[in-house]
């Protein structure tokens, strides 16, 4: 087994900035009203099946907005 492999320089492709533009265009834009509405919806759903201390911890960790 030959362990003296040589790497050819210049064979790696440059990253494309186009893919970053597409990803940023597709990511949702969140405004304050949307974040509050999502938070309220999440909390109301959690209240159906989770204990209050668990919900409070999830809010403290900002899971109400990020989920």
The number of distinct structural domains making up the chain is 1
Assess if residue 14 is contained within a domain.
no
Burial of residue 59, with CB atoms counted within 10 A of its CB: 0-12 exposed, 13-18 middle, 19 or more buried:
middle
Q: Compute the average pLDDT of residues 1-25.
A: 56
- Give the position of tokens 């989920």: 67
Query: Average per-residue pLDDT in the chain?
Result: 75
**Among residues 33, 46, 32, which one has the least CA distance to residue 59?**
46
Higher pLDDT residue, 16 or 59?
Answer: 59
Q: pTM of this prediction?
A: 0.51
Domain that holds residue 52: 29-66
Which of 3-7, 15-19, 31-35 reaches the highest mean pLDDT? 31-35
Q: pLDDT tens digits, residue range 39-66?
A: 999 999 999 999 999 999 999 999 998 8
Assess if residue 17 is contained within a domain.
no
Neighbours of 20 (CB within 10 A): 10
């Amino acid at each position: 087994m030959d362990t003296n492999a040589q790497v050819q320089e210049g064979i790696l492709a440059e990253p494309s900035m186009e893919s970053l533009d597409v990803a940023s265009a597709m990511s949702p834009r969140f405004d304050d009203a949307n974040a509050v509405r999502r938070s309220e919806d999440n909390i109301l759903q959690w209240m159906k099946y989770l204990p209050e201390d668990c919900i409070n911890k999830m809010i403290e960790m900002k899971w109400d907005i990020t989920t």
